[in-house]
C-alpha cells in the first residue's frame, strides 16, 4: 500500500514539475511545449519510459524533459533560467500548500505527496545534467564559461548522475546524503509541530 501511495505521489510530483516548465516557457513566448502537447496536466504526456521503470526498481523516477527553443525567448539566458527554475519551484509550492491542508486534514497520503515533491525539487536542483540545476548553473555563467561547462556536461553528466545515484555509500548513496539534510530542513519548516512529524 505504501508503494502504491508513493508511486501515485511521484506521478503527481512529476506531472506538476513538467507542466510548470511547459507553462513558463509558453508564457515567455516559446510555443514549442504547447506544440508538443506538453502544456497539459495529463501524466501520460510527461512520463518517460525509463524514468517510469525506475519508479519500480529504485522507487524514484523522472519525466520526459520539456522541449524548448531558447531562441523564441526575448531574453534567452534569463528566460531559460526561469523555465528551469519553474519545475522545482512548483514542487516546493505544492508541498507548502499540502502542509496547509495537512494542518486541517492530517492524513498520511498528504504528507507523503509533500515529501516526494520536496525530494523531487531538491534533487532537480543538483547541477548535474540532465537535471534542472545544470541549466540553472549554465545560465548563471558568462557565455564563454557556459559553453565550456556545457561541453563537459554533455560528455560526462549522465554517467556522473548514474554513479551518484547507484554507488552505495554507508548504506545509502551520494545523492541521498547530499539532499536529505535539505529535504529534512524544509520538512521541519513546513510540518513542525504536527503530531508524528
Confidence of residue 81 (pLDDT cuts 50, 70, 90): very high
- Among 6-15, 129-138, 159-168, whose mean pLDDT is lowest? 159-168
Instruction: Report if residue 20 sits inside a domain.
Output: yes
Q: What is the pTM of this model?
A: 0.89
Distances (CA, A) of 183 to 16, 117, 190: 18, 10, 11
Domain that holds residue 169: 2-191
Question: CA-CA distance, 151 to 119, in Å (whole number)?
Answer: 28
Cα angle 99, 105, 108; round to 5 = 75
* N- to C-terminal Cα separation, the chain: 20
Instruction: Report if residue 72 sits inside a domain.
Output: yes
Confidence of residue 1 (pLDDT cuts 50, 70, 90): low
pLDDT of residue 182: 96
- In three-state secondary structure terms, 47 is strand
Instruction: Report if residue 169 sits inside a domain.
Output: yes
Residue 196 has pLDDT above 60, yes or no: no
Say if residues 163 and 108 touch (Cβ distance below 8 Å): no
Q: Which residue did the predictor score with more confidence, 1 or 51?
A: 51
Q: Which residue did the predictor score with more confidence, 154 or 98?
A: 98
Q: Which residue did the predictor score with more confidence, 143 or 184?
A: 184
Residue 120 has pLDDT above 90, yes or no: yes
Instruction: Report if residue 196 sits inside a domain.
Output: no
* Residues labelled as active-site residues: 18
Among candidate residues 118, 126, 42, 52, the one with its CA nearest the CA of residue 84: 126
The count of structural domains within the chain is 1
Question: pLDDT digits over 34-72, tens only?
Answer: 999 999 999 999 988 877 777 776 666 778 899 999 999
Mean pLDDT, the chain, integer:
88
Overall average pLDDT of the 11-25 stretch: 96
pLDDT of residue 15: 95
Say if residues 52 and 61 touch (Cβ distance below 8 Å): yes
Instruction: Report if residue 197 sits inside a domain.
Output: no
Question: CA-CA distance, 114 to 82, in Å (whole number)?
Answer: 23
Beta strands in 9-158 (DSSP E): none
- Among 66-75, 107-116, 145-154, 163-172, whose mean pLDDT is lowest? 163-172
Instruction: Report if residue 109 sits inside a domain.
Output: yes
Amino acid at each position: 500500500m505504501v508503494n502504491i501511495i508513493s508511486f501515485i505521489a511521484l506521478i503527481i510530483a512529476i506531472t506538476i514539475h513538467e507542466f510548470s516548465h511547459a507553462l513558463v516557457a509558453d508564457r515567455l513566448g516559446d510555443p514549442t511545449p504547447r506544440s508538443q502537447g506538453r502544456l497539459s496536466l495529463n501524466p501520460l504526456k510527461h512520463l518517460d519510459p525509463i524514468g517510469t521503470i525506475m519508479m519500480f526498481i529504485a522507487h524514484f523516477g523522472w519525466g520526459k524533459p520539456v522541449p524548448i527553443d531558447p531562441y523564441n525567448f526575448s531574453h534567452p539566458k534569463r528566460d531559460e533560467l526561469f523555465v528551469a527554475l519553474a519545475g522545482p519551484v512548483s514542487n516546493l509550492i505544492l508541498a507548502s500548500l499540502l502542509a496547509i491542508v495537512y494542518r486541517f486534514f492530517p492524513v498520511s497520503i498528504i504528507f507523503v505527496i509533500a515529501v516526494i515533491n520536496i525530494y523531487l525539487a531538491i534533487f532537480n536542483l543538483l547541477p548535474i545534467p540532465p537535471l534542472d540545476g545544470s541549466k540553472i548553473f549554465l545560465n548563471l555563467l558568462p557565455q564563454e564559461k557556459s559553453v565550456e561547462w556545457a561541453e563537459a556536461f554533455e560528455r560526462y553528466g549522465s554517467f556522473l548522475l548514474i554513479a551518484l545515484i547507484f554507488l552505495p555509500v554507508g548504506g545509502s548513496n551520494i545523492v541521498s546524503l547530499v539532499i536529505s539534510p535539505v529535504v529534512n530542513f524544509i520538512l521541519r519548516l513546513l510540518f513542525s509541530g504536527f503530531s508524528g512529524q
